[in-house]
């Protein structure tokens, strides 16, 4: 091809450059792992701007996580000017933004809140009792699963009624439809939407109000979707609508890495792209730049075992490199120790801890690994799991904030009306709820009118006081930045006193709340938004996202090994990767064994894991594993057999032995008395990593500079240490009160 001379494209191989040079019309980049799909997508955006003169403000790129979006923007900034105007986000964040701006057209009221999984469960538990046909043994999670899947597929309650089979996940279809209907009504009454709605409501908005679609399309003339193989029907439809006017849609993906079927992702979306867009240009990338030839070899061999797949070529650019290592440990603890030893060894050889990742199938596997790492004093950063924003005290304070900006949020109210206790018992709450239902209003309104309306016989003053408190918080929400607002809430809700009485545990929770204030302060430094915007962001943080991970690991130094699930590792790469628990029942997981397509999905998941490795790959399994409190014999994963010969096996003492699948029961290593066990404590792991910033003292009259507000002059200083506040006058924005800790001021 005749490529235009361009610095940008010269950093790509010819196939990548062709794809990046794609100008208008639909295009599909379909290629294996590590072939530079994401890189090509970023270069295409930069090239569009630089070479074709596209306005960054009309370019949209959808990624799988907020973190990926931020990284993409960062990389684009290095390549081309104006990249900060790019619209880069996840489907969900895009949905929030669109619905915040135009949701009123479809009846969403201003200030609506986003319900997360737990809030969903709260509503479902409440509904369950009232819907006939639901037994006491029905798990609300099953209901949530039904709703989530329906939404991924753009199905409304009536669709469940017309379900081809009489039962949906064990529930009569009529019952499922009824739950769905009531759930929607309840949510609507509380001015809330859930995660699924972020997509489905946006789709509905676009369909019902074409004018809005048109406005959004002006902002998205060139659309990119990374990881297209994991889109579900609703996301597919959203993409289709967005692209319907200008048809400049470039999607990138790898069908072999589709791993979210359980959440409704449909691999058919990428396979049918050429059917949907007959004039689509298809670009194939055939060289893998990420992994050593050895690693890529086993990845390719593994994935060939899937029956329904699109054949692709994927050739290694790198050499063989290090051997791939398999290690079968006696039990899960020994497995953890093996990993910890190798991490220590590699670290001792100079590899950075941030260059190593340990991947597992289920979150529960992380605990043992963490313990092993702790014994050798290797810091670990856990991505996912119970995140910062899932902690009870954080969720409580966020619930106060939600109720402060949306008085209709009954779910939030019920969460916090008794935390701390304020003398409103269950019966009183029942009566308030009853009154609210009869009058079709919120529980908070019931509280406010409790005295005049005589809703309660005794103690009617208490709900009134609560309503007054919430009114004060609403005021604060309108007038404070997020950080000071949360401090206000923590102090005035009575929560602070509650935790102070809880001793040691309360102290930990208090520190977490401090962290929330910090998170909000930090957020304000890069965002101009309101408290509502902060809540949106907090709700949207997916488990791979930085903010949550960072807060979750607040005592972990930057330099740490990464621990995460295989799912969360998608799209990432690390020089060294460990995949633990390559056993039947774990990988493939027990649930997947029920159907053939389940095994194929697990194989893709393993493929994703293997292809994260750049230079070194370790696979481990245990012969005995404790799960759910019981230790059982474990069997090697069937996938190991499929890639047999592609890796070397080493025994616990580092000797290479022959791998024989499934015959481990015969295998008894003749181990000499253990050589003086090496102690793998790396000196750098022991040094004190706590980082206290030097105390800074400001005096009135001093000239300072703020990264955002520019030059200013200190008017007053109050408080000390962590809580020191300065009042600064900035000619650019006026007078501001700032916490020294977060203000990033420097002396001018």
36 is in an annotated binding site: yes
- At 320, give phi and psi (nearest 5°): -50, -45
Active site residue 226: yes
196 is in an annotated binding site: no
Q: Which of 548, 230, 281, 505 is nearest to 388 (CA)?
A: 548
Structure tokens at 369: 């690994």
Closest to ligand ATP by CB, 98 vs 614, is: 614
38 is in an annotated binding site: yes
Is residue 609 close enough to count as binding ligand ATP by CB under 6 A? Answer: no
Cα separation, 191 vs 111, in Å, equals 8
Active site residue 81: no
Q: State the minimum distance, in angstroms, from the CB of residue 315 to Mg ion.
A: 18
Closest to ligand ATP by CB, 38 vs 512, is: 38
Q: Where are the alpha helices (DSSP H) in 29-116?
A: 37-50, 66-79, 91-102
Closest to ligand ATP by CB, 540 vs 608, is: 608
31 is in an annotated binding site: yes
Is residue 312 close enough to count as binding ligand ATP by CB under 6 A? Answer: no
Q: Are 95 and 201 in contact (CB under 8 A)?
A: yes
Q: Can you say how many angstroms the Cα of residue 225 is from the centroid of all Cα atoms in its chain?
A: 17
Is residue 33 close enough to count as binding ligand ATP by CB under 6 A? Answer: yes
Cα separation, 563 vs 574, in Å, equals 12
Structure tokens at 170: 């064990």
401 is in an annotated binding site: no
Q: Which of 271, 344, 312, 326 is nearest to 657 (CA)?
A: 326
Closest to Mg ion by CB, 38 vs 190, is: 38
32 is in an annotated binding site: yes
Binding mask 271-290 for ligand ATP (x = CB under 6 A): ------------------xx
Q: Hey, CA dihedral for 262, 612, 299, 335, is it positive or negative?
A: negative
From the list 175, 257, 576, 649, the catalytic residue is 257
Name the β-bridge partners of 649.
Answer: 326, 657
Is residue 65 close enough to count as binding ligand ATP by CB under 6 A? Answer: no
Q: State the minimum distance, in angstroms, from the CB of residue 257 to Mg ion.
A: 9
The piece of 27-35, 230-238, 260-268, 536-544 that touches ligand ATP (CB under 6 A) is: 27-35
Structure tokens at 495: 């929560």
Binding to ligand ATP in span 546-585, by CB under 6 A: 571, 573
Active site residue 528: no
Residues 6+ apart with CB under 8 A from 93: 66, 69, 540
CB-CB neighbours of 473 under 10 Å: 21
Q: Helices 392-405 and 531-540, interaxial angle, to 10°?
A: 140
95 is in an annotated binding site: no
258 is in an annotated binding site: no
Active site residue 37: yes
Q: Hey, CA dihedral for 485, 489, 491, 492, is it positive or negative?
A: positive
Q: Are 27 and 280 in contact (CB under 8 A)?
A: yes
The entry of Mg ion, ligand ATP, none near residue 543 (CB within 5 to 8 angstroms by kind) is none
The entry of ligand ATP, Mg ion, none near residue 34 (CB within 5 to 8 angstroms by kind) is ligand ATP
Q: State the minimum distance, in angstroms, from the CB of residue 252 to ligand ATP.
A: 7
Residues that bind Mg ion (CB under 5 A): 37-38, 571
Q: Are 261 and 232 in contact (CB under 8 A)?
A: no
Query: C-alpha distances in angstroms, 294 versus 32, 118, 298, 301, 614?
Result: 16, 44, 7, 11, 10
Q: State the minimum distance, in angstroms, from the CB of residue 295 to ligand ATP.
A: 12
Q: Can you say how many angstroms the Cα of residue 452 is from the centroid of all Cα atoms in its chain?
A: 46
Is residue 148 close enough to count as binding ligand ATP by CB under 6 A? Answer: no
Out of 9, 12, 146, 265, which residue is the one contacting ligand ATP (CB under 6 A)? 12
From the list 97, 548, 603, 612, the catalytic residue is 612
The piece of 36-44, 148-156, 435-443, 718-726 that touches ligand ATP (CB under 6 A) is: 36-44
Residues at the binding site are 31-38
The residues annotated with a catalytic role in the active site are: 37-38, 226-227, 257, 612
Applying CB under 6 A, the residues found at the interface with ligand ATP are 12-13, 16, 33-39, 254, 257, 289-290, 571, 573, 611
Residues at the binding site for ATP are 31-38
């Amino acid at each position: 091809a005749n490529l235009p001379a361009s610095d940008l494209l010269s950093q790509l191989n010819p196939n990548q450059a062709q794809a990046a040079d794609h100008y208008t019309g639909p295009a599909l980049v379909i290629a294996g792992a590590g072939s530079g799909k994401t890189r090509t997508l970023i270069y295409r955006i930069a090239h569009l701007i630089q070479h074709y003169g596209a306005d960054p403000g009309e370019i949209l790129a959808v990624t799988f996580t907020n973190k990926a979006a931020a990284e993409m923007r960062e990389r684009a900034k290095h390549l081309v000017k104006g990249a900060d105007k790019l619209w880069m986000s996840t489907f969900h964040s895009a949905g929030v933004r669109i619905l915040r701006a135009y949701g009123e057209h479809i009846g969403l009221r201003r200030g609506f809140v986003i319900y997360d999984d737990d809030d969903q469960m709260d509503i479902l538990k409440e509904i369950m009792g009232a819907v006939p046909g639901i037994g006491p043994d029905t798990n609300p999670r099953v209901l949530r699963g039904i709703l989530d899947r329906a939404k991924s597929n753009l199905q409304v309650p009536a669709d469940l009624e017309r379900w081809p089979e009489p039962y949906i996940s064990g529930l009569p279809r009529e019952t499922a439809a009824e739950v769905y209907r009531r759930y929607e009504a309840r949510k609507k009454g509380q001015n809330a939407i859930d995660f699924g709605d972020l997509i489905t409501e946006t789709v509905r908005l676009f369909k019902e109000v074409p004018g809005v679609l048109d406005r959004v399309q002006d902002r998205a003339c060139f659309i990119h979707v990374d990881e297209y193989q994991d889109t579900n029907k609703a996301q597919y439809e959203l993409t289709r609508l967005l692209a319907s006017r200008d048809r400049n849609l470039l999607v990138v993906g790898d069908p072999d890495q589709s791993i979210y079927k359980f959440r409704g992702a449909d691999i058919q979306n990428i396979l049918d792209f050429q059917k949907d867009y007959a004039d689509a240009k298809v670009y194939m990338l055939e060289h893998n730049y990420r992994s050593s030839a050895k690693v890529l070899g086993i990845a390719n061999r593994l994935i060939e075992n899937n029956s329904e797949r699109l054949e692709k070529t994927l050739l290694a650019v790198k050499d063989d490199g290090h051997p791939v290592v398999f290690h079968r440990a006696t039990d899960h603890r020994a497995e953890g120790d093996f990993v910890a030893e190798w991490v220590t060894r590699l670290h001792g050889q100079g590899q950075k801890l941030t260059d190593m990742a340990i991947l597992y199938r289920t979150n529960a596997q992380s605990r043992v690994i963490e313990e092993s790492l702790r014994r050798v004093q290797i810091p670990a950063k856990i991505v996912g799991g119970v995140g910062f924003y899932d902690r009870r005290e954080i969720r409580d304070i966020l619930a106060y904030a939600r109720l402060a900006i949306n008085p209709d949020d009954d779910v939030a109210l019920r969460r916090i009306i008794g935390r701390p206790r304020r003398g409103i018992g269950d019966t009183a709450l029942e009566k308030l709820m009853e009154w609210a239902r009869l009058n079709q209003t919120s529980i908070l309104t019931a509280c406010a009118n409790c005295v005049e309306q005589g809703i309660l016989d005794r103690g009617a003053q208490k709900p009134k006081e609560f309503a007054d408190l919430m009114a004060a918080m609403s005021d604060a929400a309108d007038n404070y930045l997020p950080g000071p607002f949360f401090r206000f809430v923590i102090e005035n809700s009575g929560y602070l006193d509650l935790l102070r009485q809880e001793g040691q545990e309360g102290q930990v929770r208090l520190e977490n709340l401090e962290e929330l204030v910090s998170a909000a302060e930090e957020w304000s430094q890069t965002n101009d938004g309101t408290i509502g915007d902060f809540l949106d962001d907090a709700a949207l943080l997916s488990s791979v996202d930085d903010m949550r991970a960072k807060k979750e690991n607040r005592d972990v130094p930057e330099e740490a090994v990464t621990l995460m699930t295989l799912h969360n590792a998608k799209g990432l790469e690390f020089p060294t990767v460990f995949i633990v628990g390559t056993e039947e029942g774990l990988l493939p997981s027990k649930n997947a064994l029920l159907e053939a397509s389940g095994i194929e999905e697990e194989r893709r998941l393993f493929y994703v894991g293997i292809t994260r490795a750049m230079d070194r790959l370790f696979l481990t399994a245990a012969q005995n594993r404790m799960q759910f409190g019981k230790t059982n014999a474990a069997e090697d994963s069937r996938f190991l057999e499929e890639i047999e010969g592609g890796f070397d096996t080493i025994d616990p003492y580092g000797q290479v032995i022959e791998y024989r699948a499934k015959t481990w029961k015969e295998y008894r290593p003749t181990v000499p008395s253990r050589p003086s066990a090496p102690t793998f404590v790396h000196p750098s792991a022991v040094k004190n990593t706590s980082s206290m910033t030097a105390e800074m003292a400001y005096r009135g009259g001093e000239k300072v500079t703020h990264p955002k507000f520019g030059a200013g002059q200190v008017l007053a200083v109050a408080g000390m240490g962590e809580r020191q506040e300065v009042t600064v006058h900035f000619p650019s924005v006026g007078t501001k009160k700032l916490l020294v800790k977060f203000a990033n001021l420097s002396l001018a």
